[in-house]
Amino acid sequence: MPHSPDDKKRAITRLRRIRGQAEALERSIADGADCGPVLQQLAAMRGAVNGLMADVLEGHLRESFGHADCSIEALQDPAHARTHEAIDEISSLVRSYLK
């Protein structure tokens, strides 16, 4: 769950975009659009949802394991650096699978 005001704003903006895509898809189907454009709209929606899911998951990982609001001393700790690198690697891996 996004906790910072910027993260919440970004998540809500994405959700509104997804809602707009869903409404456009509904209109396309109601109007009897061809399958190709409908499939393209579905793929765009899937990408938007997957992107939101990746952002929320990354935020969760950072909050749970990365201690997002660390002091300078904590940032210089090698164990913290390894944890931060591991979270970056996991986030990158998850994003690649969600594409």
Domain of residue 79 covers 5-97
pLDDT digits (tens, 9 = 90+) for 41-81: 999 999 999 999 998 888 888 888 866 555 566 666 777 77
CATH code of residue 88: 1.20.58.1000
Number of domain units in the chain: 1
- Rounded to the nearest 10 degrees, what angle do helices 78-98 and 35-61 cross at? 170
- SS3 at position 85: helix
Distances (CA, A) of 74 to 31, 86, 97: 57, 16, 31
What does the pLDDT read at residue 20?
Answer: 97
- The structure's pTM equals 0.75
Mean pLDDT of 30-38: 96
What does the pLDDT read at residue 72?
Answer: 60
